[in-house]
Amino acid sequence: MKAGSKIYYTRVLLGVGVGLFSGWLYLVLPLGLLQSLIPSILAVLVYVGSFYLITRVLRIKAEDLNNPAFLKTGGIFAYFLTWLVFWSLYLTFTLPPS
């Protein structure tokens, strides 16, 4: 698998995991601003932390890519989209209808 594909799929999988965790956090946090603010901050922190995962664990360097900026921006849209979709799906299937 190419280095760019590893970056993309790693961020998609992280988006799925953080989305499910954000949905759970939404249910256990008290009502108010913190209920949506903390999962959002968590999603951004995990995205920033994905640089460590990609460079240290997967051992991908900027030189391995055709476009070195892909290390920072690759999969950003897919990450946040899957995070939002799985957060919404988790809440849809766990919250009782009102």
Q: What is the pLDDT along the chain (98 residues), one digit of tens a residue?
A: 888 899 999 999 999 999 999 999 988 888 887 887 889 999 999 999 999 999 999 899 888 888 888 888 889 999 999 999 999 999 999 988 87
Whether 97 is covered by a domain: the verdict is no
**Domain boundaries, position 48:** 3-92
At residue 31, the pLDDT reads: 81
Whether 17 is covered by a domain: the verdict is yes
Whether 81 is covered by a domain: the verdict is yes
- Count: domains in the chain: 1
Angle (CA) 70-59-1 rounded to 5° is 70
Whether 64 is covered by a domain: the verdict is yes
Whether 88 is covered by a domain: the verdict is yes
Annotate the chain with three-state secondary structure: CCHHHHHHHHHHHHHHHHHHHHHHHHHHCCCCCHHHHHHHHHHHHHHHHHHHHHHHHCCCCHHHCCCCCHHHHCCHHHHHHHHHHHHHHHHHHHCCCC
Whether 32 is covered by a domain: the verdict is yes
Whether 98 is covered by a domain: the verdict is no
